[in-house]
């Protein structure tokens, strides 16, 4: 035994975990999630391929019918695709969290004198990498097809950041589902059932005016619509309108409801 | 607050631990007292409650009733203190499949508060010590079962915890790898660590443990040193198959009268005689020959977990 495993613990025996340790543990767990992406890059398939596939499909199938031409449809569509891609990327948070927690390594995390919240918080931070990739690819695809946002590059970056922040807020819903459901498959299934109406019953792909009255009401209350409109305002006209603030308020409500719920369930399980 | 240098006396003290899953009483009132600096074995068949007991002592699970202390700290009221005193190696590899061996150890070390450079140095040291240096940068998916267990054990030693839980450390390993694990476990205790290990193998508990608790259906059915336990069940036993099954009762009486051995029937024509020493086998056979009892088959058997349970609980494991 060369390294002399001493009988006395090298750790301070005090049982208190402060803010600094919580942050340090969270960053370590975020680093772990990054390493996992590095070793299994195939988990990025959704954020790499979905924006490419959906942009192409929607542009060429609906462009002519909805806006008369592809060029006219792109300013409407790209913000819609961006929101859809990024919200479905946030779904993966819940699925991967569930998968992770089923593995033996989680038992070790639970037995370490570390901040209980770190595995959850770390995973949510690293998801920004996924959202960043999804956002960049969506805008790049739009650019390739001829989308030229009138407000310019800085507004596009600002809109991208708003989308990423919103995805992070929405990911708390799916993280919560990940906590309360038993298997990764069931998380995937239920999340998808939430995701489909949430993104399609919005103004993401089709102008609201073409829908029947009851649907217009639903669409107007859907936070996804406000996010889409806010992004359109920013990228197309360089404006921060009421939808921007409504989006922030809506996202804040989601985080205020689901973050404490998730943390509570997580702490009880961990 | 205790000074960490005073971690002597009892490493584990548990009283009346109970854990029920739905209507299954996994642990049904377990008491344990483990002296610091010893290896303590929990021996029992699958489903006896071994893993549940470890999970409760390691702060992974709350009991429905009972209390437990680790070095005097209450496991359920002061879990964070207890976590800084223990290392846990679970039955299913508690390491990250997707990462390399080094990355695994560095992450655990960072979580335990080591600096980046100290974590790297510690990981390299442990990999060297456990003979995993060559595989350090390989993802775990390419590790053999034995390598994975060794890495798992290494991960439990990062903080040099004074108490280490090993849940079935050798289940599923080939005999050679098992011997390596045993050597590693013995080294660990030489440096002063206390170890609580669970096993399904009497042999393993006998080889490693200073004391053994035999558990069954969530209860401790026997608790003693390995030697005393083996004496109570007979170290080895002689299985004798008789030519004429009518002579079985005579054979049992002969062994009792002349040798003081309490043999029992294990089939119509077969007898099991527990022995103090293998030498007694010759005495048994000589005595049977003197009574002209014919034998068709003999077999010298080491006690198995099955027999321990048969002896201690009166029913098969």
- Tell me: do B99 and B61 sit in the same domain: yes
The Cα of A27 is separated from the nearest Cα of chain B by a number of Å equal to 10
Residue B33 has what pLDDT?
Answer: 94
Residue B5 has pLDDT above 60, yes or no: no
Residue A117 domain-assigned (yes or no)? yes
Question: How many alpha carbons fall within 13 Å on the CB side of residue A174?
Answer: 33
- Tell me: do B174 and B207 sit in the same domain: yes
Q: What average pLDDT does this structure show over B90-112?
A: 89
Query: What domain count does chain A have?
Result: 1
Contacts of B72 in chain A (CB under 8 A): none
Residue B17 has what pLDDT?
Answer: 93
Residue A47 domain-assigned (yes or no)? yes
Residue A7 domain-assigned (yes or no)? no
Residue A111 has what pLDDT?
Answer: 86
Residue A2 domain-assigned (yes or no)? no
Q: Which of B199, B214, B128, B211 is nearest to B166 (CA)?
A: B199
Put simply, the chain A residues between 91 and 120 with a CB less than 8 A from any chain B CB are 103-105, 107-114, 118
CATH number at B53 reads 3.40.50.300
Residue A12 has pLDDT above 60, yes or no: no
Q: Give the residue with greater pLDDT, B88 vs A15.
A: B88
Tokens of A162: 């708003």
- Choosing from B211, B230, B249, the residue where a domain stops is B230
Residue A14 has what pLDDT?
Answer: 59
pLDDT single digits (tens) B279-304: 888 888 888 888 888 889 988 877 66
Q: How many C-beta atoms lie closer than 10 Å to residue A130's C-beta?
A: 25
Phi, psi of B185 (to 5 degrees): -65, -40
- Tell me: do B123 and B205 sit in the same domain: yes
Residue of B1, B11, B51, B80 to mutate, interface with A, max A Cβ within 10 Å = B80
Rounded CA separation B15/B52 (Å)? 15
Residue A67 burial (10 A CB sphere; 0-12, 13-18, 19+): middle
Residue B218 has pLDDT above 80, yes or no: yes
Residue B233 has what pLDDT?
Answer: 67
Tell me the C-alpha to C-alpha distance, in Å, between residue B63 and each of A96, B22, B89, B221: 29, 13, 20, 20
Determine, for residues B162 and A109 on separate chains, whether the beta-carbon distance falls below 8 Å: no
- Tell me: do B41 and B183 sit in the same domain: yes
Contacts of B98 in chain A (CB under 8 A): 35-36, 39-40
Q: Which residues contact A62 (CB under 8 A, 6 or more apart)?
A: A73, A77, A205, A206
- Choosing from B202, B230, B258, the residue where a domain stops is B230
Residue A1 has what pLDDT?
Answer: 35
- Choosing from B168, B197, B230, the residue where a domain stops is B230
Rounded CA separation B292/B279 (Å)? 21
Residue A1 domain-assigned (yes or no)? no
- Tell me: do B120 and B257 sit in the same domain: no
Residue A3 domain-assigned (yes or no)? no
Determine, for residues B90 and A2 on separate chains, whether the beta-carbon distance falls below 8 Å: no
Q: How many C-beta atoms lie closer than 10 Å to residue B49's C-beta?
A: 25
Mean pLDDT rounded to a whole number for chain B? 86
In this complex, the residue of A1, A7, A15 whose CB is nearest that of residue B78 is A15
Residue A171 domain-assigned (yes or no)? yes
Query: What domain count does chain B have?
Result: 2
- Residue B261, domain extent: 235-313
CATH number at B302 reads 3.30.70.2250
Residue B227 has what pLDDT?
Answer: 81
- Tell me: do B241 and B183 sit in the same domain: no
ipTM of the complex: 0.80
- The answer to pTM > 0.95 is no
- Residue A63, domain extent: 19-269
């Amino acid at each position: 035994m060369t390294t002399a495993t001493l009988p006395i613990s090298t750790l301070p025996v005090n049982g208190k975990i402060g803010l600094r340790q919580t942050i340090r543990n969270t960053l370590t767990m975020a680093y772990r999630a990054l390493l996992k992406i590095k070793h299994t890059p195939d988990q990025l398939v959704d954020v790499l391929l979905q924006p490419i596939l959906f942009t192409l499909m929607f542009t060429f199938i609906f462009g002519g019918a909805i806006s008369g031409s592809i060029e006219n449809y792109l300013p409407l569509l790209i913000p819609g695709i961006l929101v859809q891609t990024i919200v479905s990327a946030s779904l993966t948070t819940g699925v991967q969290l569930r998968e992770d927690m089923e593995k033996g390594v989680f038992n070790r995390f639970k037995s370490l004198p570390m901040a209980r919240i770190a595995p959850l918080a770390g995973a949510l931070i690293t998801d920004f990498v996924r959202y960043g990739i999804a956002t960049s690819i969506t805008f790049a695809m739009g650019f390739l097809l001829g989308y030229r946002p009138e407000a310019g590059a800085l507004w596009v970056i600002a809109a991208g950041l708003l989308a990423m922040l919103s995805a992070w807020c929405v990911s708390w819903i799916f993280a919560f589902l990940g906590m309360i459901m038993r298997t990764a498959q069931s998380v995937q299934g239920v999340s998808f059932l939430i995701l489909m109406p949430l993104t399609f019953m919005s103004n993401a792909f089709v102008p609201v005016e073409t829908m029947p009255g009851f649907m217009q009401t639903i669409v107007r209350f859907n936070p996804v619509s406000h996010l889409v409109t806010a992004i359109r305002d920013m990228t197309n006209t360089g404006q921060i309108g009421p939808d921007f603030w409504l989006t922030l308020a809506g996202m804040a409500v989601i985080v205020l409801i689901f973050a404490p719920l998730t943390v509570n369930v997580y702490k009880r399980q961990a | 607050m205790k000074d960490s240098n005073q971690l002597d006396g009892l490493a584990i003290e548990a009283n009346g631990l109970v854990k029920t899953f739905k209507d299954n009483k996994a642990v049904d009132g377990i008491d344990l007292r483990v002296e610091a600096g010893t290896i303590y074995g929990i021996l029992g068949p699958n489903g006896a409650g071994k893993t549940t007991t470890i999970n409760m002592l390691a702060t992974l699970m709350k009991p429905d009733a009972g209390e437990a202390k680790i070095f005097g700290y209450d496991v359920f009221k002061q879990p964070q203190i207890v976590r800084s005193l223990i290392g846990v190696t679970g039955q299913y590899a508690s390491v990250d499949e997707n990462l390399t061996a080094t990355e695994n150890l560095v992450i655990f070390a960072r979580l335990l508060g080591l600096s980046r450079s100290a974590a790297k140095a510690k990981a390299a040291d442990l990999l060297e010590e456990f003979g995993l240096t060559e595989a350090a940068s390989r993802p775990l998916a390419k590790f053999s079962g034995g390598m994975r267990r060794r890495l798992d054990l290494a991960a439990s030693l990062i903080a040099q915890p004074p108490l280490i839980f090993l849940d079935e450390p050798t289940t599923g390993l080939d005999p050679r790898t098992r011997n390596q694990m045993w050597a590693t476990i013995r080294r660990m205790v030489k440096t002063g660590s206390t170890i609580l290990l669970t096993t399904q193998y009497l042999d393993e508990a006998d080889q490693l443990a200073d004391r053994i608790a035999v558990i069954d259906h969530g209860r401790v059915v026997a608790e003693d040193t390995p030697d005393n336990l083996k004496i109570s069940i007979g170290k080895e036993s002689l299985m004798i198959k008789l030519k004429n099954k009518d002579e079985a009762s005579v054979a049992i009486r002969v062994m009792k009268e002349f040798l003081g051995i309490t043999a029992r029937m294990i089939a119509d024509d077969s007898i099991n005689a527990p022995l103090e020493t293998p030498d007694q086998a010759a005495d048994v056979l000589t005595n049977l020959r003197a009574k002209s009892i014919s034998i068709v088959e003999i077999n010298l058997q080491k006690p198995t977990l099955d027999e321990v349970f048969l002896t201690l609980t009166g029913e098969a494991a």
